[in-house]
Amino acid sequence: MAGPAAEHADASDMDDTRMDETTRIPHDPAPGAPSPAPKVMFTFNGNTVEGREGDTIAAALWAVGIRALGPGEAGLYCGIGHCFACRVVVDGVHDVRGCLVLIRPGMRVEPPRIPLPPLPPGAP
């Protein structure tokens, strides 16, 4: 998956192919620039994803073009742990905020299985 189509990809668009980096800033060849972080392989929705050491789940998925993490438009919103829009299942643990948790080799990340309850009538 690469190119403009990847900009609006979600979990349902994924096939069984490996997801490689598509949107990272290329390595800076300037003298003294840090080397790219080592690669970290994990899975999202059963597909192998290539991230970088120090990436959060959300950042690694964003880098390969995954913007929505589950049904609907749920995905990265605040990016700082406040909104819970990035909830995923990690190694069987539900409601993990993808924007806060760093990827680990072999980590199994899945879209959220339990939707949030509807807002009460009149909720802002």
Distance CA 94, CA 56 (A): 16
In the bound state with ligand FES, the residue whose beta carbon lies nearer, of 14 and 97, is: 97
Shortest Cβ 84–ligand FES spacing (Å): 5
Shortest Cβ 83–ligand FES spacing (Å): 3
How many residues interact with ligand FES (rule CB under 6 A)?
A: 12
Burial class (CB in 10 A: 0-12, 13-18, 19+), 51: buried
Distance CA 67, CA 23 (A): 12
Q: Which of 43, 50, 77, 104 binds ligand FES (CB under 6 A)?
A: 77
Residues that bind ligand FES (CB under 6 A): 76-79, 81-86, 97, 99
